[in-house]
Structure 1
C-alpha cells in the first residue's frame, strides 16, 4: 500500500504563536484499495483480435452480446503499420555490441511461469487481456517495442505479486502506460486508458498501481524484447547479403505478426525473446517462400530448442491464420496465400 508522504515539521514553525491557526490533528483516511467501482465490462470487444485463440460465441445476439456491450470501450481495427527502412550504417557501428549486451541481459528480464503464484489469474484470462491490449496498442499507433515491453512488465509483475481478478485489466493498462513512457514520444494519457476500461477504475487507482509495479520491479524496465531481436536479425541477414532489403523487410513484418500472436499465448512464455525472434523469421521465410531463408545459427540456440519453438509457431499460425491477416499489409497476405475474407 502506498502511504502519504510525511509533512516536514518546519512547515508550521512560523504559525505556532498564532492560536487561531492551530488546528486539531485530522486523521488521514486510508487510500482506496485497488477494487473496481462498478461491473467490469468484458475484455473481448469488437476489436478485431478477440478470436485469436478462441471462437466468439455464436449464441448471443443483439445488445446482450459481449461484443455489443463492450463496443463503446474497444478500439476499432487499424491498418497494418508501414515497413520501416533499415539503418545499416548504425548497425555496422553498434549492432554487434548492442546485441551482445542484450543477449547477456536476456535471462535476467525473462519471467518463466509467471502465473505460478497467481490464485485468480489464469492463462485464459491472460490471453483475453492481451488479445484486447494488442488492438489497443495498434489503435494508439504505438510501436511493437511498446507492446513487447508491456507484456514483459505484465509477466514480471505477475511473477512477484498475486493479483485479484477484478484488477487484472487495470494491471494491463498500467503496464501499457509504463512501457509507453519509455519508448513513445507521445504516450497515451491516463484519461484515455481509463476510458478504455469503461470507467471501472479511477485515476488514483491507476497511479497507485503504477507505483506498486515500479517498486516491485525495482525500476528495472529496459528488458531485451522480441522487437529488438527481430530488427537485429533482419539487419544481420541484409548486411551478410543473405537477403535483399525488400525481402528482409517483408519477412520482418510477417515475423512480427507471428510474434504478436505468440505474445498472447502463455505456452510461449518459456521461450526467450531471441529464440522466438529467430524462429518467427524462419517461419516467415517459409511462408513467403524466400530462396535464401534466414540462418537459424544467428541466434546461437540449441537445435532442439529451435525445432520445438518452430513447430509450435507453425501450429499457432495454422490455428489463427484469419487473425494474422488483420495485422499484415495486403501484399504480404497475398504472397502467403492467407485468407483475405477479414480484410
Structure 2
C-alpha cells in the first residue's frame, strides 16, 4: 500500500472542502474614505479688470475698510485703462443670428414688463435710509462686484432688488449694509455660475452680521418681492440697442462695442445716484448710448427714437447724464478700456 506524498496535489474532493471553508469566513467591511469635492477658490481678479472705484464712490469711505484682505476687495495698483476684447471675442459678443431670431421678441416682452419692476421713489417711506446712505452703499458695492468678477447684469439686478425692497419695508440704518450684500447674493444666484459664498460676503461686513441673519433677510426679501426677480435691466437694453444698430448697418461692430463699453460705465455711475431712479432702464440705456456716441464722436449716432420714449424725457435724462459725467469724469476714466481712453476726451466732448 503506497502512502500518498504530502507534496502531491490534493484531490478534487479535498479542494472542494477547502473552498467551502473559505466561503465560511466573515466578510470584512472595507473602510470608505470620504469623497472630497474639489473646491475651486475664487481666482484673483486680473488687475487690468479692476482699475479702481467708479462714480461717486471716491467721495465716501468704504464701510468695510477694516475687513480681511483675503475676502474684501483690495485697492488696485494697475494701470487705469483696460483693453477691449479682440475681434474673435467681438464676434462672440455680437451674436447677430440669435438677435434676428429672438431679439425683438425678448425686447417686446421685457419692455412690456419694465414698469412692473421699476421702483419709483424707493426712499419715500424710509425714515432712516437717505439718498446719501444709498449712494454710499452702492458706491461700496460697485467695486465689490468688480472684485468678484461679476457681470454688469448682476449689479443691475442688485440695485433693482434693493430699491424694490425699500418700497415695501422700512429698513434700519444699521441693517442697510446687510440688505446690500443680501441683494447682491440674490442677484448673483440668478445669473452667475459661481456666486460669492455667504462667508465671503459676511467677511466684507467686518463680521457685523451672522450667517443666520443674512439667510433670514434673504427669505424676507424673497417673500416681500413675491419671488418676482426677473427684472429688465439696463444691461439687457444696452446689449439690445447695440445689436439693433449693428444689424441695421448704422454702426460697425467695433464702434458699437466701444460705445456700449462707455455707456456701461456711464450707467454704472447713474446706479449710485438716487435722482436717476425715476428713469426706466430702457430710457437710461438709450441715453447712455447716445451720450457715449457724442463723446466718441461717432459718424452715425444712435437713433433716439429707437426706444419709443418722449423727446422731453430723453432730453432731460441726457442733460442729467452729461452733468453726472462732467462731475465724475476722473472716476469714469478708471473704468474705460484703453482704446476708449485714447479716443474719448471728456473735457472736449462735453463742452
Root-mean-square deviation (CA, aligned residues, Å) is 2.2
Q: Spell out structure 1 runs of 4+ moving beyond 4 A.
A: 65-74, 77-84
Distance 1:74 1:191 in 2: 11
Quick check: 1:115–1:123 contact (8 Å CA) kept in 2? yes
Distance 1:141 1:296 in 2: 32
Distance 1:81 1:149 in 2: 26
Query: What SS does the corresponding residue of 2:168 show, helix, strand or coil?
Result: coil
Quick check: 1:275–1:306 contact (8 Å CA) kept in 2? yes
2:214 maps to 1:206: yes
What's the CA shift for 1:191? 0.4
**Which residue in 2 is equivalent to 1:160?**
168
**Which residue in 2 is equivalent to 1:195?**
203
Quick check: 1:50–1:132 contact (8 Å CA) kept in 2? no
Alignment of 1:197-236 (within 5 A): 197-236=205-244
What's the CA shift for 1:67? 8.8
User: Looking at both structures, which has the greater relative contact order when contacts are Cα pairs under 8 Å and sequence separation is at least 6?
Assistant: 2
2:92 maps to 1:75: no
Distance 1:186 1:239 in 2: 32
Identify unmatched segments of 5+ residues in structure 2: 1-50
2:47 maps to 1:49: no
**Which residue in 2 is equivalent to 1:144?**
152
- For residue 134 of structure 1, the aligned residue among 122, 126, 142 is 142
Q: What is the CA deviation profile of residues 202-249 of structure 1, one whole-angstrom value per residue up to 9, with x for unaligned ones?
A: 000000000000000000000000000000000000000000000000
Please give the TM-score of this superposition, normalised by the length of structure 2: 0.77
Please give the TM-score of this superposition, normalised by the length of structure 1: 0.79
Query: What SS does the corresponding residue of 2:206 show, helix, strand or coil?
Result: coil
The change in CA–CA distance for 1:326 and 1:74 in structure 2 (over 3 A counts) is farther
Query: What SS does the corresponding residue of 1:291 show, helix, strand or coil?
Result: coil
